[in-house]
A = this chain, B = another copy of it.
Amino acid sequence: MPSTTVRLDAPLDMHLHLRDGEMLNNIAKESAQTFSGAVVMPNLVPPVSSKAEIVAYRERIMKAIGEESFIPYMTLFFKPEYDRVFLESLREDLTSIKLYPAGITTNSEGGVSGFDVEELRPTLEAMSDLNIPLCIHGETNGFVMDREAQFVPIYEKLATAFPKLKIIMEHITTKESVEALERFDNLYATITLHHLLITLDDVAGGMLQPHLFCKPIAKRPEDREALLNIALKAHPKVMFGSDSAPHPKHAKEACGCAAGVFTAPIALQVLTELFETHNSLDNLQAFISGNARQVYGITPLKKQVILEKKPFTVPADYKGVVPMYAGERLAYSIREVKHG
């Protein structure tokens, strides 16, 4: 009897951290092997904020992935001083622009610290006219469990002021964000793998679990339910974005560990199991690729990933980076990746 197989066409990871240097070289292939493309975050040190930096970073990524067929959809680190001429000059080099509130996560010190519409208007109107989506890490500097919900009014203010600008609420974690999505035509969202699976209980309810510590922090059970609900039905404004964020093992397990969960190598397997468990396998293609094509208007490289229901034991680490579910057994494994 043949085992159950699931075919995914051109999986896309719409929010990915590939880092740079040795880490880039160590982990980029983990995404490139199974994903057709990914939106690559610009929070390097210094952040990617010029044409030259985008082009050079793209080249380093292509070199790191080697023979793999994979499109890195490049992003620019948002700065309010970007003007129309500048943006026009690199329209072909980028897919979106990522806005970080200042100091909110890893390497975001140079981000935006006020959200004054008039101050942002020249840049955001130019982006709107040029159809460049704005990706936002939507958290305030408030209490850790409230930061995202407190940011929703800022999403709404921007969505109202720039009604033709596509605004992607990145890695949403709360029911408040899910609700905001419905209220504004131009709000979209990415959802990570881990926020579909864990709550704060998994991070700090038993022993402290640094490998599940991330920003935004995992929230309450009702928040996870709200996320799961729109992901499983592949709400057309919702896209998969892993926010996979590699840190060396020693940095995650040290006192004062860095935020980020590394899910790139296991995301497709776990999503397949999750959607199957909830009788939603028919919607996985839209969540993992179709919605993103529509929202971003992109045509990814052809790539078919065949998963089969055969246990896969997750490695303890990938070149020193500990993945989610390290050492555990997943129900699905990747049988084959077909190109073209």
State the CA gap A257–B254 with chains docked (Å): 11
Cβ of A199 under 8 Å from chain B = yes
Known: A145-B145, A253-B255, A254-B253. A204 touches B203 (CB 8 A): yes
Q: Of all chain B residues, which has the CB nearest A257?
A: B208
Query: Could you say which interface size class chain A belongs to?
Result: 20 to 34
A 127-150 binary contact with B (CB < 8 Å = 1; else 0): 000000000000000011100000
Chain B residues with Cβ below 8 Å from A253 are: 253-255
Tell me if A101 is interfacial: C-beta within 8 Å of chain B.
no
- Contacts A204-B203, A204-B204 hold; do A210 and B255 have CB atoms under 8 A apart? yes
Whether A211 is near chain B, meaning CB under 8 Å from some CB there, is yes
* Cβ contact of A144, chosen from B143, B144, B204, cutoff 8 A: B204
Query: For the complex, is A221 an interface residue (Cβ under 8 Å from B)?
Result: yes
A207 close to B (CB within 8 Å)? yes
B145 adjacent to A256 (CB under 8 Å): no
Contact A213 B204 (CB under 8 A): yes
Interface bits A192-226 vs B (CB < 8 Å: 1, else 0): 00000001110111011111010001001100000
Whole-angstrom distance between the alpha carbons of A220 and B200 in the complex?
Answer: 14
What's the minimum C-beta distance from A199 to chain B, rounded to whole angstroms?
7
B-chain residues with CB within 8 Å of residue A258 when the two chains form the complex: 207
Q: With a CB–CB cut-off of 8 A, which chain B residues contact A257?
A: 207-208, 210
Cβ 8 A contact of A207, one of B143, B199, B207, B259: B259
Q: How far is the CB of A164 from chain B (nearest CB, A)?
A: 35
Specify which chain B residues have a CB less than 8 angstroms from the CB of A211 in the assembled complex. 255
How many copies, total?
A: 2
Q: Which residues of B contact A205 (CB under 8 A)?
A: 143-144
Give the Cβ gap from A200 to chain B, nearest Cβ, in Å. Answer: 6
Are A221 and B143 also in contact (CB < 8 A) when A204-B203, A213-B204 are? Answer: yes
Complex formed: what's the CA distance from A145 to B222 in Å? 13
In the assembled complex, the Cα of A142 lies from the Cα of B104 at a distance in Å of 29
Residue of B199, B209, B252 near A143 (CB, 8 A) is B199
Q: What is the distance, in angstroms, from A67's C-beta to the closest C-beta of chain B?
A: 34
What is the CA–CA distance of A211 and B254 in the complex, to the nearest angstrom? 11
> Given A254-B253, A255-B253 in contact, is the A145-B200 Cβ separation under 8 Å?
yes
Taking the nearest CB of chain B, how far is it from the CB of A191, in angstroms? 20
Complex contacts, A255 vs chain B, CB 8 Å: 209-211, 252-253
Name the distance in Å between A34's Cβ and chain B's nearest Cβ.
Answer: 26
Chain B residues with CB below 8 A from A217, complex form: 204
Q: With contacts A208-B208, A213-B208 known, is A200 near B254, CB below 8 A? A: no
Residues of B with C-beta under 8 A to A259: 207-208
Tell me the complex Cα distance, A338–B77, Å. 62
Given contact pairs A143-B200, A204-B204, A252-B255, enumerate 16 new A-B contacts (beta carbons under 8 Å).
A143-B201, A143-B205, A143-B220, A144-B200, A144-B201, A144-B204, A204-B217, A208-B208, A208-B213, A208-B259, A209-B255, A209-B256, A210-B210, A210-B255, A253-B253, A253-B255
Give CA–CA (A209, B203) in the complex, Å. 12
